[in-house]
Amino acid sequence: MVKSLHDQIFCDLRPEGPKANVWQGLEGDRVRGETRGPPVLGKERCEELRLKPSHPPLPKRKGGFQFMQSFRAITFIVFLALTLAIQGFTVAGCLPDARGGSVVLATTTSLYDSGILDEILDAFEREYKFRVKPIPTGSGEALRLGIMGEADVLITHAPSEEERFMKRGYGYSRTPFLKTEYILVGPPLDPATVRKASSLSEALSRIGKAGFLFASRGDKSGTHIFEMALWKKAGINPVRKGWYLETGQGMAETLLIANEKGAYCLTDYSTYVSSPHLEALSIVLKPEPKEECIYSAIVVDASRIGKRLGNFRVAKLFARFLSSQKCKELIMRFKVDGKIPYRPI
Amino acid sequence: MKVILDVFKEAFLLILRLDSEFLSVLSLSILVSGSASILAALFGVPFGVALAEGNFKGKRLLLTLTHAFMALPPVVAGLVVFLILMRSGPLGSLRLIFTPASMIIVQTILAFPIVAGLTHASVSSVDPRYEIQARGLGASRLQAVVVKVRQARMGVVAAVIAGFGRVLAEVGAVMIVGGNIKSQTRVLTTHLLLYARQGKYEMALADGIVLIMLSVLINAFLTKAQFQRARTQIAQRITSYPS
Amino acid sequence: MEMLKAVSIKKEYGERFALDIEHLAISEGEILTCVGPNGSGKSTLIRILSLLEQPSAGRLFFRGREVQNLKGRRRLEVLRQMSVIFQDPIFFGRSVYDNVAVGLTFRRLSRAQKDQRVRQAIKEAGLEHLERADVSTLSGGEAQKVAFARAHALNTDLIFLDEPFANLDIEARRSYQAIVKNALKGRGKTAVFVTHDISEAAYLGDRVAVINEGSIVQAGAPSEVLFKPANAVVARFTGMENLLDGVVSSSSVGILTVRVDGGTIQAVGEEKAGTRLILGLRAEDIGLVPKDQLRLPSSFRNSYEAIVERVEPAGAVTRVFVKCPFSLVSYVTSRSAVEMGIVPGERIGVRFKATSVHVMGSGF
């Protein structure tokens, strides 16, 4: 039940998902029996299905013409059309992955916004012919989707939360594979004199004490969790302050709001460099030593995702791919605006 | 099943408890959409009346445009207003972007064609004899128009309410120009979107329930207005005879 | 002095001529009634004369001033010297009082002035008991009285009335007609009044103009129009039911002998022998008598033995269709129809005076 509710909310993000589910319910036992077979994934199987349809209605077509003049002929045509439509949907539904929905990757927005995720996913698909569907969201939400069994594999950057997730047995494996760094951006004139600060928490304390605008994602994402920890260190509770803008949105949107509002903002380096039109923001603090932002891939434990063993296998494969040499090279090659935002681990 | 029932239960409890965050979102929603509707009414009603009663060049074109803009996609309106109000935009210096003011502006733009178009429709459908009779008793052109508008008042109110309904349920434009900043520019629809994404389904559903309740209320009013109009039309038919 | 004059007024809707008035003048203090069948253009005429509609061509003079092309304030100024009452009154406010006051409100009168005039008009229309009533609860007759009162309250010198009595029953119509006539005459108002009922037109009008197909076919005193219709159209419209084509066979000392289909009729006239003409006879001028009475001497120049063809009871009177051998319609009281035993197929005497026969040219 929760799944279907979730599907409704995300139907724009996963267009094929709900459709496939809807039609599966209407197919009847014969077709459903087919879907209960061994979990065979990927395009090969799909094409096989499309080429050799095993559904009985098709041969009926010949006999149908005898009744062309009669009402039965019309009924037959309607029936045929419906059958073909259902068949079409079944085939379409199995494109990303055959049985029991797609392999879902809940990911932080940062990787998605910078475009690197698309490249990784493309490379993975080229290599293994499996498609993985990314849902961009915050780290907190990604972990929650993992707990609910809505996602098969996660990419997050909230180490403390991730450890808790693993400790409670929701995860099968956790692999750090990519990193960037946290920076503080703000108005170039730097009214809070953040540039003189030695650490991020000191910078935040300067901003908070003077009450300069600060844009926060406020969405329990990795960056937000990290930011909250910094505020705690600075001894300030920014929540419900007039100068504290909680956007509830992704990193790119939050940077945009900071840009327009002339606010400070804690961000990962990669999203900042990959966001265009941030003329009113510049890097005001790039702490030394680096405040690292480490992205890990977590494969959700199979028991969480029910019987979707096929998904589990693909998820494991995907996590392994993220740490592969091939992927590392890809990360090192990835450039935005001439800058290399990520480093492999 | 249990989960969804729990979600519903929690949502109703949230509404009944008048959760403070929820209340602030609701009141901002009504404030923004209400102001936008009032502004749209201030401009749209006279404009609609002028379209119905005026005699000027380009009237047909304006009417066509009005009807076309009744279906203006909110995200497009949002994007255009954003480009105008953003820092580097032509009106960037006003610093209105990501404030309730910018949301009111974009919603006014969305509600205006609806208010104008429906006002035009309801004023045009007033029996022309009202105007002739008023003129026959010495009304100036303007006074006769006022008489007609008063006759169409239910329709005009319905037009404004319909505009309110549209902007209240609108999410794309306020998301773009408002930014969904907590307790500043977060309204029912963007709040719903955010919490649906974060998996706080109770909160999202509470928003949804309130949105539906408001829409039911609005539609109940519109239906009532329609019935009233049908009734007066029937009454007119009964008392009027072909001359 | 002329209050209103229309010269060569034309109105067309698309291809169709709705109105084509060569000349129409209304003098001060006069009540002109325009009478004509439905769709004859009377209502269009009223809307044009009252400046509510623009004529396609022609000129309109109000108190000697050309007004048809006036715009804006100046047009309004003229418009406010007139008031119009329509067949089905359209109400604006809720109460009778508000509705009577509406024209004064348009003129921005002070509250006190307004109140005084509204009360006066309500009193003259006999509506005191309904002053606070909701207009939607009024009967047809009451509604019309309100409509009259609100025009009357304006006290304009010129009033237009477009079929104000059309929807009323006979009782309400009589009382309302009396109220209107008294009010108009009492204040010496000029009025243009449209109706399709000739008797109403004759009762109210100082002068009657008969309109047909957008043109004035005859204008004159009520008696003139009623008894000397200019042509067959007017004749039929004024209730002259018997119209016969004929040719004058002989003419001597003002008495014509006219040959009609199957017989001759004697009429009063000066036409030469051989002239084609139309004879008009009011049904009520034709007497029916038992056929043996025809032999008795009488002043009726025309008398025939006829066969009753059809009998149509119509309330107090009965219409009797007879063949003498030309066809005629006669009215007898329903009582005498029974007493005389008038039934189809019966032979009966028919007679009428030569002076009752109205002679018209056959132009129409």
In this prediction the ipTM stands at 0.76
Pairing of strands C2-13, C16-27: antiparallel
The predicted pLDDT at position A224 comes to 92
Each residue of C122-148: pLDDT tens digit?
Answer: 888 888 888 888 888 888 888 888 888
The predicted pLDDT at position B232 comes to 62
State the CATH class of domain A181-292.
alpha beta
Least confident range of B19-33, B226-240, C323-337, C339-353: B226-240
Spell out the SS3 assignment of B152-184.
Answer: CHHHHHHHHHHHHHHHHCCCHHHHHHHCCCCCC
Number of H helices and number of E strands within chain B? 11, 0
The predicted pLDDT at position A327 comes to 94
Shortest CA distance from B198: residue in chain A: A141
Q: In this complex, do B180 and A219 lie within 8 Å of one another by their Cβ atoms?
A: no
pLDDT > 90 fraction of chain B, expressed in percent and rounded: 49
What is the architecture of the domain spanning A103-179+295-344?
3-Layer(aba) Sandwich (3.40)
Judged by a CB distance cut-off of 8 A, whether residue B93 touches chain A is no
Each residue of A170-217: pLDDT tens digit?
Answer: 999 999 999 999 999 999 999 999 999 989 999 999 999 999 999 999
The residue ranking higher by pLDDT, A226 or A27, is A226
Q: In this complex, do C86 and B129 lie within 8 Å of one another by their Cβ atoms?
A: yes
Query: Which of B137, B149, B228, B236 should one mutate to test binding to chain C, selecting the residue with the greatest count of C CBs within 10 A?
Result: B137
The predicted pLDDT at position C125 comes to 83
Q: In this complex, do B239 and C143 lie within 8 Å of one another by their Cβ atoms?
A: yes
Residue A1 with chain B: CB contacts under 8 Å: 1-4
Residue B181 with chain A: CB contacts under 8 Å: 245-248, 257
Distances (CA, A) of A334 to A112, A176, A327, B237, C121: 13, 18, 10, 76, 92
Shortest CA distance from A5: residue in chain B: B4
Q: Vertex C244, ends C240 and C245: CA angle to 5°?
A: 140
Type of residue found at C37: P
The predicted pLDDT at position A13 comes to 38
Residues in chain A whose beta carbon is closer than 8 A to a beta carbon of chain B?
A: 1-2, 5, 9, 137-138, 140-141, 144-145, 148, 218-220, 240, 245-249, 253, 256-257, 259-261, 277, 279-280
Tell me the residue length of chain A: 345
The residue ranking higher by pLDDT, C260 or A1, is C260
pLDDT band at A76 (very low <50, low <70, confident <90, very high): low
Q: In this complex, do C88 and B134 lie within 8 Å of one another by their Cβ atoms?
A: no
Identify which of A220, A184, A108, A155 has the alpha carbon closest to the alpha carbon of residue B195.
A220
The average pLDDT across C34-56 equals 88
Q: Which DSSP string corresponds to C24-76?
A: EEEETT-EEEEE--TTSSHHHHHHHHTTSS--SEEEEEETTEE-TT--HHHHH
Domain residues of chain C, as ranges?
A: 2-237, 242-361
Q: In this complex, do B239 and C154 lie within 8 Å of one another by their Cβ atoms?
A: no
pLDDT band at B167 (very low <50, low <70, confident <90, very high): very high
Q: How many CB atoms lie within 10 A of CB B102?
A: 29
pLDDT band at A78 (very low <50, low <70, confident <90, very high): low
pLDDT band at B233 (very low <50, low <70, confident <90, very high): low
Type of residue found at B243: S
CB A164 within 8 A of CB A174: no
pLDDT band at B51 (very low <50, low <70, confident <90, very high): very high
- A and C interact (at least 3 Cβ pairs within 8 A): no
Torsions phi, psi for B86 (to 5 deg): -65, 160
Q: Vertex A173, ends A170 and A175: CA angle to 5°?
A: 130
Each residue of B55-103: pLDDT tens digit?
Answer: 889 999 999 999 999 999 999 999 999 999 988 889 988 888 899 999 9
CATH of domain C242-361: 2.40.50.100
pLDDT at C53 over 80: yes
Taking all residues of chain A, what is their mean pLDDT, rounded to a whole number?
76
The average pLDDT across C33-53 equals 88
What is the architecture of the domain spanning C2-237?
3-Layer(aba) Sandwich (3.40)
pLDDT band at A91 (very low <50, low <70, confident <90, very high): very low
The predicted pLDDT at position B177 comes to 92
Q: In this complex, do B182 and A261 lie within 8 Å of one another by their Cβ atoms?
A: no
CA distance C65 to A200: 90
Q: How far is A34 from chain B (nearest CA, A)?
A: 27
Each residue of A107-131: pLDDT tens digit?
Answer: 988 888 888 999 999 999 998 888 8
Pick from A140, A248, A260: which is nearest to B182 by CB? A248
Number of H helices and number of E strands within chain A? 16, 10
Tell me the residue length of chain C: 364
pLDDT at A37 over 70: no
Q: How far is B146 from chain C (nearest CA, A)?
A: 11
The DSSP bridge partners found for residue C307 are: C323, C347
Domains along chain B?
Answer: 2-234 (1.10.3720.10)
CB B120 within 8 A of CB B126: no
Residues in chain B whose beta carbon is closer than 8 A to a beta carbon of chain C?
A: 127, 129-130, 132-141, 143, 147, 150-151, 235, 239-243
Q: For the CA atoms of chain A, what is the radius of gyration?
A: 25
The predicted pLDDT at position B196 comes to 81
Q: Is C343 left (phi over 0), alpha (psi -120 to 50) or beta?
A: beta
Q: How far is B112 from chain A (nearest CA, A)?
A: 27
Each residue of C167-184: pLDDT tens digit?
Answer: 778 888 888 888 888 888
Residue C107 with chain B: CB contacts under 8 Å: 138
- Burial pattern A299-330, b for ≥16 Cβ within 10 A else e, equals bbbbebbeebebbbbbbbbbbebbbeeebbeb
204-233 in B: which are within 8 Å (CB) of A?
204
The predicted pLDDT at position A101 comes to 53
Shortest CA distance from B129: residue in chain C: C90
Partner chains of C (3+ C-beta pairs under 8 Å): B
pLDDT band at A83 (very low <50, low <70, confident <90, very high): low
The residue ranking higher by pLDDT, A75 or A253, is A253
Q: In this complex, do B182 and A245 lie within 8 Å of one another by their Cβ atoms?
A: yes
Identify which of C292, C241, C244, C288 has the alpha carbon closest to the alpha carbon of residue C266.
C244
The average pLDDT across A16-30 equals 38
Q: Could you say which DSSP state residue C228 is in? A: S
pLDDT at A58 over 60: no
pLDDT at C188 over 70: yes
What is the maximum span of chain A, computed from C-alpha positions, in angstroms?
88
The average pLDDT across B192-217 equals 86
| Number of Cβ pairs < 8 A linking chain A and chain B | 66
Residue C143 with chain B: CB contacts under 8 Å: 239
